[in-house]
Structure 1
Amino acid sequence: MGKREVFWGVVSCIVILLAYIIPYTFLTNVANWYGSFLLWVGVAFVIIIINLIITKDWRS
Structure 2
Amino acid sequence: MSRRIGFGLLGVLVVAAVIVPYTLLRDVQAWYGSLLFWGLIGLAVIVLNLLVTADFKEK
Q: TM-score under structure 1 normalisation?
A: 0.89
Correspondence for 1:20: 18
Higher relative contact order (CA 8 A, sep 6+): 2
Identical aligned residues as a percent: 31
Map 1:1-60; keep pairs closer than 5 Å.
4-60=2-58
Q: Structure 1 stretches (4+) deviating beyond 4 angstroms? A: none
The CA distance in 2 between the partners of 1:55 and 1:35, in whole Å, is 30
CA RMSD of aligned residues (A): 1.3
How much has 1:28 moved relative to structure 2? 0.6
Aligned residues: 58
Aligned to 1:32, the other structure's residue is in SS state coil
